[in-house]
Amino acid sequence: MAEQPALPPPPRGYLAIQERFPEVTAAYEALQQSTASCGPLSGRERELIKFGIAVGAGLETSARAHARKAHALGVTRAELEQAAMLAASTAGWSRAVMALGWVDRALAPREQREPAAD
């Protein structure tokens, strides 16, 4: 079995919630595992889909997190940018432009990232 690429560490905010509410985050992580394994999609495909869902919902923190995870699993910047642009015909031009900025910030070196707005 091929070794899975290392995913980026969770955001500090998530770690703080995990410390305060370990039972809740454990249940959330179990849900993530269950939904990840309930069908044939690869990790790469799942993260790209989750990125698109977050963009459509306007969830910057989530979009940036899934962009970082997708990139760690081999999704290229160009693929993430195309996914962001696909939002133009479904969620609107402004959402697509926002998503492009989120990709830029997600893939910036950690010390250069701006905090998310949401």
What token pair was written down for 71?
A: 């990139």
Q: Determine the pLDDT at residue 39.
A: 97
In order along its 118 residues, the chain shows pLDDT tens digits of 456 678 888 888 899 999 999 999 999 999 999 999 999 999 999 999 999 999 999 999 999 999 999 999 999 999 999 999 999 999 999 999 999 999 999 999 765 656 666 5
Q: Determine the pLDDT at residue 7.
A: 85
CA angle at 32 for the pair 25 and 37, rounded to the nearest 5°: 150
Return the domain boundaries, the chain.
Answer: 40-111
Q: Determine the pLDDT at residue 116.
A: 63
Q: What share of the chain is helix, strand, coil (3-state, %, to 5)?
A: 70, 0, 30
The CATH homologous superfamily of the domain defined by 40-111: AhpD-like (1.20.1290.10)
Closest to 77 (Cα-Cα) out of 67, 85, 86: 67
- With H, G, I as helix, E, B as strand and everything else as coil, classify residue 116: coil
Q: Which pTM was predicted?
A: 0.85
